[in-house]
Amino acid sequence: MSGQAQVRVSPFSIASIILSMTIAAVGSGIMATYVPFVLTQNGETWAARMAVPALAFGGLLGCVLAGPLIQRVGHARLFACSMAMVIIGAVLVAADLPAAWWILARAIYGAASNVNFIIAQSWLNHAASNEWRGRAMSFFYMSFVLALGGGAWLFGQVPVEGNLAPLIVIFVTALSIIPIGLTRLPNPPAPASVSVNVKMAWKISPVGLAGVLASGGLSMVVQGFTPIYATLNGVSQGEVALLMLVMQTGLLFIQYPLGMVSDRIDRRVILLFTCGLIIVSGIAALMVSFTTFILLMIVFLIFGGAVETVYSVANAHANDRANPGDFVPLSSTLLVAWSTAATIVPLVITFLAPITGQQTYIYAIILVASAYGIFVAQRLKERGPAPEEERESHEVRSAQMPNAAIITEPGAAEAQAEAAQAREA
């Protein structure tokens, strides 16, 4: 870090960052369940559906703008500003304005949340030592995702009438600014800029790039449309909240064990198995009745967890195939691919669902998983596995948040500049 010593002490040095983001995730979980439930109950299903691609589009803007904004004002100031945007979005919802304003609020949240997440990843990367950085990032992801589920469950405990739920979101978002505002960690340098080189990413790992594209759309669809689907089928507020909580635990029960296995065998075999898991659980989701709610929760736990697994294992597979000098541009391309797919796929479903029915999103997930599974099977025949000595350990990642770990690593911006010079030469 230029001009100042880089702080690398114990894991407790990053506690304020993880605490701030975990508190903020509670508010995110509340709003992610409150908005689709209330809009659908009020007969504004079109708005509930449109809020999903709006959230993703805002996230795409956040991914692209985070680096330049951090470079301009620094991590701490931008964190406070982006949290203020989250609060503005919650106020728009709390004010009980027409549904179009709720869609705008979700777009604002999408941009702000991805900026916050990139800031947190950048800070964690520069505060953590090499010995425990991977474990710290995995713990961070796990805490964030479980807090999202906890926020969804909390929504089920408050009255849906009135605006208490968004007011709680405003409170916890304001509260989340305090720990990171009081941190003594210095500002790290800005992350590498986001650039796109699809040709390079495809050449390095077609399976990795296609997997990130698939999982970007799949995750946003399953997380965004499931509460709408459940509400349309008469599921109560408490049960919708519980369903969303259970889905988040798929990261623990599905992604973590499959990710560990992928360290020992060809990751494409795990991706192929996971696609099969998505297809089977998707068919089960179409067949299982809402009257057998416990069984339905198990089905959606597997459904959501399998989608998350595609994202993390595809990322790991892409990194296995890449040279160290390509890590930053590859990661940047995968980040934009993830955000773009997360916008386009829900948008298509939003326009199709009124014509083809409320189960459209489940059929779409099955279709995408089938197409990706066929592609992975074909690649297995054409190319051998990555050499064992070049493979990295799998790390927990969620397809609900941007994976900016590599572009925020120490020296990432310098590595990006050197790689650009090498390509020009």
The string of DSSP letters for 182-218 reads T--PPPPPPPPPP---HHHHHHH-HHHHHHHHHHHHH
Is 7:127 a contact under the CB 8 Å cutoff? yes
The answer to whether 30 and 79 have CB atoms below 8 angstroms apart is: no
Cα dihedral 117, 196, 67, 186 in deg (nearest 10): 70
In sign, the C-alpha dihedral spanning 365, 371, 377, 383 is negative
Low-confidence ranges of the chain (pLDDT < 50): 1-8
User: In whole angstroms, what is the distance from residue 399 CA to residue 386 CA?
Assistant: 23
Q: Give me 151's structure tokens.
A: 């926020």
Candidates 103, 116, 113; CA nearest to 350 is 103
Q: How far, CA to CA in Å, does 180 sit from each of 20, 116, 119, 124, 395?
A: 6, 11, 11, 12, 24
CB-side neighbour CA atoms (13 Å) of 251: 27
Q: Tally the residues of the chain.
A: 425
Alpha carbons 411 and 59: distance in angstroms, whole number: 25
CA distance 61 to 147: 24
Give the rounded distance of the alpha carbon of 212 from its chain centre: 11
- What residues does each domain of the chain span? 12-424
Alpha helices in 130-205, H assignment, sequence order: 133-155, 164-181, 198-204
293-303: pLDDT as tens digits: 999 999 999 99
Both structure tokens of 42:
């009020």
pLDDT digits (tens, 9 = 90+) for 268-290: 999 999 999 999 999 999 999 88
Report, at the CATH architecture level, how domain 12-424 is classified: Up-down Bundle (1.20)
